[in-house]
A = this chain, B = another copy of it.
Amino acid sequence: MERDTLQRRAIREALERTARPLAPQEVLDEATPAAPRLGIATVYRTLKSLVEEGWLKAVELPGQPPRYERAGIGHHHHFHCRACGKVFDIDGCVGKLQGMVPKGFVLEDHDVVLYGRCDACVK
């Protein structure tokens, strides 16, 4: 069913090697050295199947193309650098969200996205 190919190995390794969420194009760039003729279509197909498999998680940010990171790293949020466009994982979580919900509404989940400059871009 799930075959072990050079391309999938390269894509998985690219995602394991990088600690931050990657966009499809970034995955292609990271994986191409290990799988030279890799195409963007294969990246999209592989990312989709890895998400369905539960190995990957899609990270959706407002106004941004989806990015992907390894699943199972626990509840966290994201920091989006306005200078370089990279997305970083943020530990910790805000509180008092329940109090913001209007009467009669049921709160099930939440997203927090921080914007600014990463340490590399501040310099």
The interface bits of chain A over 96-123 (1 if a CB of B lies within 8 angstroms of the residue's CB, else 0) are: 1101111111111111111111110010
Asked whether A62 is an interface residue with its Cβ less than 8 Å from the other chain, the reply is: yes
Identify which of residues 19-62 in chain A touch chain B, using a CB-to-CB cut-off of 8 Å: 58, 60-62
| A interface: dominant SS | mixed
Copies in the complex: 2
* Distance A117 CA – B104 CA, assembled complex (angstroms): 9
Given contacts A79-B105, A96-B95, contact A114 B122 (CB under 8 A): no
Residues on B with C-beta less than 8 A from A88 are: 102, 105
Question: Which of B62, B102, B103, B116 is close to A62, meaning CB atoms less than 8 Å apart?
Answer: B62
Instruction: Name the residue of chain B whose CB is nearest to the CB of A121.
Output: B106
